[in-house]
């Protein structure tokens, strides 16, 4: 894990060298030297971490390097504060960047003051006063004067670490392959447990009835071609248990001539695997001769032996799609009904394992199934004691349907006295880890298989509260702001971050909570995996969580931790006054925006103290009755001192006025003032100078000074009158645009033109909501937006263009709210080749009949129809062949739904919900 932290810091130092070339004049060589030293250390860390569990010296050595990496980032952060005019207490000192030499003497300050005097904004008495003030403070602060010495001190510490490595012979220990290390022994024990598990059969495992019936049908089907059945899901979900039940089924045993089972896991050799498969099939007599054969010979022998027989092969716990590919040639496609079962945690492995493949995602247990499984283990099928049932149900709910956690919990509690149950409840995950090697190492396997970047992103999820539903778009922006995401040549950092989250989802480390408009909208982390992330993150001193409801005592850990999360409605703010001023991230959850209480009155102090913040985000609680709608706040001018800030989120804050000092935040990427009760925000003219801005989110009114924001990707929500005045020529990267009309700006009937939007060549998502009286001009200008995939329009429109399929060929999601269309919209819409979701709202004053022709809507999956007054809907055979969700509004009771569509269920309630929630 430390390798991930050091790798991140090395990349951060590299970013400083590239982005701050004008300010690193006197210390550039030192920074480059420090970066190289850390890179050299990095080459040993990964191997060292694998051995640290069995050696305290190595653990300490690795920890020392981690601390130096953190301190290196701190030194550069404070240095940039100095050259940008903010001291290490967050107060402004200078207005411009000075010239730096490399001697560190008092002459440096004389040159420094001379450079200040040359600046046009400082002259005469003001400059003299500033010079005198700075000179008196210079030796007391972390400034340009001693930055080189701090870097030298870090290099000396690295040198000391290297010498200790040599003195204590750590390199020899790290390089050794001795298997007596505790971690290796435990892992070997786990593998033995997995092997033994294939022979142990549970007669009636809870919760697998439907899965068993479905997969048995696939195994026993009369189809003669070989079929690969891939079962995937989170570790501990029961994939092996289900495969074992299928493997030992009597009908299965009677169907196949030969059956074999092998567990793969992460580290294996093809030859050893083939040997184990051959021994499991038990179809060769001269087994002693096999050891001398090559991989190719073994594969050939196995293939020849199976040629004339039907077989069932179970390959348990595959981690890479290449695993089956490397074995595939040993299993003949003899067209006599053979089957292969693969279990994996990784969706991509399951889906791409074979050309003829059936993929089965294993679900979590329902609440009733979870309780049944728990009772079988905890009470041995006897009746649950009344006093323990409530505690038991509370703990089972925490397990969130994960069978392994429930089984281990039940077994643990079956040995506990009733008075001990409450202690287990209070520290449930610690008890589960201590009681079962399987729980710890099944989860560790998933974590250890991640790359540096994936590890950091997974650990970051531990900052979010238990059972917290995480908005995916917001999470992507946070990961980018944290610096965890590297820029690709042909993809934005946001696209790279999305791929990383998709990978964590594919690896069953993140659960999808909602899919909205064809995309993953929200996600969450299973509590057991969250606990794993917290455990790993705390080992790295990567996060600090202040949860005053659970732990009111104050910890000293906060003094050195870089990322902090606060869970509290009414925190004591001890962390604000005594917390680590070097913190990079501060995430506040369940806060109250109140005029006299809560976080609001502490913002100025917060901005002064946490001067190295990169991320500051507040999730306000709206459950409390409030008068927020009746007042508006001005953001403190002190915000301008946070020059490192990349992400500022003050949702539901009712901050409506931004100070001009915000222009100092030249690194800011995301500005989020949105929310369900967010008041309108006025953007200062200085916003136009913030070239790094990528996401502007809020309820923006008045002038939009955004013409020069060439990196802007997201803009929502803006008034149409304001948008019409924007010159969009330079907004070349805008991808997500939401425009809304406000009743307060109504000036009579108007026509909205798409001409300005036509210049946005990279636009993906467009939403325009007009007042009922206003209308759209022609959609034709959107033909220039060939990347458009999601379009949502609300307003009057005479008719849809007949050639929509030509100029919007990539459109996947379409929502139209058109009061009184004069023609049936279906002929224009059904030809859209990639349309997946269609949401139609209109009043049928002129149109009483809809018609869908054969072969229309070839990819449509979801249709929502709200057409008051509609009488007839004709759907020809062959139209909408893949429709899986249909929702017809109750307001059109006279409409007769075509017979073949009546059995189509409605989509999930959130699949087409309006995303006007601030994200």
pLDDT, tens digit, for every residue of 171-194?
665 555 443 444 454 445 555 555
From the centroid of its chain, how far is CA 572?
Answer: 30
Q: Is the pLDDT of residue 110 over 50?
A: no
Q: What is the mean pLDDT of residues 654-659?
A: 82
Query: Which pLDDT score is estimated for 141?
Result: 41
- Pick from 157-171, 397-411, 718-732, 830-844: least confident: 157-171
d(CA 25, CA 661): 27
- Name the residue with higher pLDDT: 446 or 576: 446
Query: Which pLDDT score is estimated for 540?
Result: 81
The DSSP H or E segment spanning 587 is: strand 585-591
The per-residue pLDDT of the chain, averaged, comes to: 79
Q: How confident is the model at residue 107 (pLDDT cuts 50, 70, 90)?
A: very low
Residue 635 phi/psi, 5-degree rounding, is -70, 140
Q: What's the token pair of residue 388?
A: 């323990």
Query: Which pLDDT score is estimated for 128?
Result: 41
Q: Is the pLDDT of residue 782 over 50?
A: yes
Query: Which pLDDT score is estimated for 677?
Result: 52
- The dihedral built from the CA positions of residue 44, 45, 50 and 52, taken in this order, carries a sign that is positive
Q: What is the mean pLDDT of residues 66-87?
A: 74
Return the top range by mean pLDDT from 245-259, 397-411, 595-609, 863-877: 245-259
Query: Which pLDDT score is estimated for 86?
Result: 58
Superfamily of domain 702-793: Ribonuclease Inhibitor (3.80.10.10)
pLDDT single digits (tens) 21-70: 666 666 677 777 777 777 777 666 666 665 555 566 767 777 787 788 78
CB of 536 within 8 A of CB of 1?
A: yes
Q: Is the pLDDT of residue 907 over 80?
A: yes
Range list of H helices, 308-382 = 321-328, 347-351, 367-378
- Pick from 247-256, 400-409, 781-790: least confident: 400-409
Query: Which pLDDT score is estimated for 571?
Result: 52
Query: Which pLDDT score is estimated for 134?
Result: 38
Q: 768 to each of 596, 723, 752, 757, 783, how far by Cα in Å? A: 38, 11, 9, 11, 16
Query: Which pLDDT score is estimated for 131?
Result: 42
**Count of beta carbons in the 10 Å neighbourhood of residue 210:** 9
| Pick among 1.10.3720.10, 3.40.50.2300, 3.40.50.10490, 3.40.50.300: CATH of 208-361 | 3.40.50.300
Q: Is the pLDDT of residue 495 over 90?
A: yes
Query: Which pLDDT score is estimated for 261?
Result: 92
- Pick from 47-61, 127-141, 541-555, 705-719: least confident: 127-141
Count of alpha carbons within 13 Å of 100, Cβ hemisphere only? 24
Q: What is the mean pLDDT of residues 472-498?
A: 92
Tell me the whole-structure pTM to 2 decimals.
Answer: 0.80
Query: Which pLDDT score is estimated for 28?
Result: 75
Q: How confident is the model at residue 630 (pLDDT cuts 50, 70, 90)?
A: very low
Longest dimension (CA), the chain: 100
Query: Which pLDDT score is estimated for 754?
Result: 93
Q: How confident is the model at residue 120 (pLDDT cuts 50, 70, 90)?
A: very low
Q: What is the mean pLDDT of residues 99-112?
A: 37
pLDDT single digits (tens) 202-238: 556 787 888 999 999 999 998 899 999 999 998 888 9
Residue 85 DSSP label:
T
Q: How confident is the model at residue 242 (pLDDT cuts 50, 70, 90)?
A: very high
Q: 600 to each of 332, 608, 680, 697, 721, how far by Cα in Å? A: 69, 14, 18, 20, 32
Q: How confident is the model at residue 130 (pLDDT cuts 50, 70, 90)?
A: very low
As a whole-number percent, the residues of the chain with pLDDT over 70 amount to 76
CB of 670 within 8 A of CB of 695?
A: yes
């Amino acid at each position: 894990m430390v390798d991930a932290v050091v790798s991140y810091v090395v990349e951060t130092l590299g970013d400083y060298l590239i982005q701050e070339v004008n300010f690193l004049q006197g210390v550039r060589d030192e920074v480059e030297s420090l970066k190289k030293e850390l890179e050299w250390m990095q080459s040993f860390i990964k191997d060292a971490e694998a051995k640290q569990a069995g050696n305290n010296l190595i653990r300490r050595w690795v920890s020392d390097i981690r601390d130096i990496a953190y301190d290196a980032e701190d030194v550069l952060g404070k240095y940039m504060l100095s050259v940008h005019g903010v001291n290490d207490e967050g107060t402004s000192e200078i207005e411009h960047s000075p010239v730096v030499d490399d001697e560190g003497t008092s002459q440096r300050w004389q040159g420094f003051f001379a450079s200040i005097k040359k600046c046009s904004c400082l002259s005469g008495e003001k400059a003299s006063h500033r010079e005198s003030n700075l000179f008196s403070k210079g030796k007391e602060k972390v400034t340009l004067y001693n930055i080189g010495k701090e870097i030298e001190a870090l290099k000396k510490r690295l040198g000391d670490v290297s010498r200790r490595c040599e003195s204590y012979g750590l390199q020899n220990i790290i390089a050794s392959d001795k298997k007596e290390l505790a971690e290796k022994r435990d892992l070997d024990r786990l593998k033995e447990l997995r092997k033994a598990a294939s022979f142990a059969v549970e007669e009636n495992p809870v919760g697998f009835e439907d899965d068993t019936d479905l997969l048995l049908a696939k195994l026993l089907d009369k189809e003669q071609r070989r079929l690969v059945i891939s079962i995937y899901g989170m570790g501990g979900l029961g994939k092996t248990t289900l495969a074992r039940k299928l493997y030992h089924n009597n009908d299965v045993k009677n169907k196949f001539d030969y059956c074999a089972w092998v567990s793969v896991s992460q580290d294996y050799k093809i030859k050893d695997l083939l040997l184990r498969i051959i021994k499991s099939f038990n179809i060769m007599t001269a087994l002693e001769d096999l050891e001398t054969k090559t991989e190719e010979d073994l594969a050939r022998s196995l293939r020849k032996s199976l040629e004339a027989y039907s077989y069932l092969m179970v390959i348990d716990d595959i981690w890479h799609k290449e695993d089956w590919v490397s074995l595939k040639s040993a299993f003949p496609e003899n067209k006599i009904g053979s089957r292969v079962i693969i279990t994996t945690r990784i969706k991509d492995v399951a889906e791409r394992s074979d050309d003829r493949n059936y993929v089965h995602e294993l679900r979590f247990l329902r609440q009733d199934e979870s309780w049944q499984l728990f009772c079988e283990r905890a009470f041995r099928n006897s009746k649950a004691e009344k006093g323990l049932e409530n505690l038991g149900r509370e703990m089972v709910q925490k397990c969130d349907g994960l069978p392994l956690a429930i089984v281990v919990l039940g077994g643990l509690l079956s040995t506990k006295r009733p008075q001990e149950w409450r202690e287990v409840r209070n520290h449930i995950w610690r008890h589960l880890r201590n009681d079962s090697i399987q729980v710890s190492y099944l989860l560790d396997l998933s974590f250890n298989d991640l790359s540096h970047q994936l590890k950091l992103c997974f650990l970051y999820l531990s900052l979010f509260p238990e059972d917290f539903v995480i908005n995916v778009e917001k999470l992507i922006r946070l990961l980018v702001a944290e610096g965890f995401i590297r820029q690709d040549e042909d993809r934005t950092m946001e696209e790279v971050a999305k791929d990383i989250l998709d990978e964590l989802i594919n690896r069953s480390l993140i659960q999808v909570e909602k899919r909205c408009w064809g995309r993953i909208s929200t996600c969450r982390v299973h509590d057991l995996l969250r606990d794993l992330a917290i455990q790993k993150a705390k080992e790295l001193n990567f996060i600090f969580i202040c949860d005053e409801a659970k732990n009111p005592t104050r910890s000293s850990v906060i003094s050195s931790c870089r990322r902090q999360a606060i869970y509290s409605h009414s925190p004591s703010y001890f962390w604000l006054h005594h917390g680590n001023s070097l913190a990079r991230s501060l995430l506040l959850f369940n806060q109250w925006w109140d005029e006299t209480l809560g976080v609001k009155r502490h913002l100025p102090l917060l901005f002064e103290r946490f001067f190295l913040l990169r991320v500051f985000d507040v999730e306000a609680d709206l459950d409390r009755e409030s008068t927020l709608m009746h007042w508006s706040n001005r953001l403190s001018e002190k915000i301008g001192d946070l020059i490192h800030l990349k992400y500022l989120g003050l949702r539901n804050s009712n901050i409506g006025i931004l100070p001009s000092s915000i222009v100092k935040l030249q690194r800011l990427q995301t500005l989020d003032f949105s929310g369900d009760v967010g008041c309108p925000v006025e953007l200062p003219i200085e916003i136009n100078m913030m070239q790094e801005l990528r996401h502007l989110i809020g309820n923006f009114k008045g002038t939009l000074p955004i013409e020069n924001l060439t990196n802007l990707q997201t803009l929502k929500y803006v008034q149409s009158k304001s948008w019409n005045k924007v010159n969009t020529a330079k907004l070349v990267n805008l991808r997500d645009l939401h425009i809304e009309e406000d009743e307060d700006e109504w000036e009579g009937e108007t026509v909205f033109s798409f001409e300005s939007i036509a210049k946005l060549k990279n636009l993906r998502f467009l939403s325009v909501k007009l007042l009922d009286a206003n209308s759209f001009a022609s959609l034709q200008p959107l033909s220039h937006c060939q990347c458009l995939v999601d379009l949502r329009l609300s307003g009057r429109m005479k008719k849809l263009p007949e050639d929509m399929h030509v100029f919007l060929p990539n459109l996947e999601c379409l929502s139209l709210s058109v009061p009184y269309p004069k023609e049936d919209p279906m002929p224009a819409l059904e030809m859209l080749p990639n349309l997946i979701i269609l949401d139609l709202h209109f009043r049928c004053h002129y149109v009483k009949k809809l018609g869908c022709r054969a072969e229309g809507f070839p990819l449509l999956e979801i249709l929502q129809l709200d057409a008051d007054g509609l009488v007839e809907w004709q759907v020809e055979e062959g139209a909408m062949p893949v429709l899986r969700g249909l929702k017809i509004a109750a307001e059109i009771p006279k409409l007769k739904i075509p017979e073949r569509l009546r059995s189509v269920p409605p989509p999930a309630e959130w699949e087409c919900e309006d995303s006007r929630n601030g994200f």
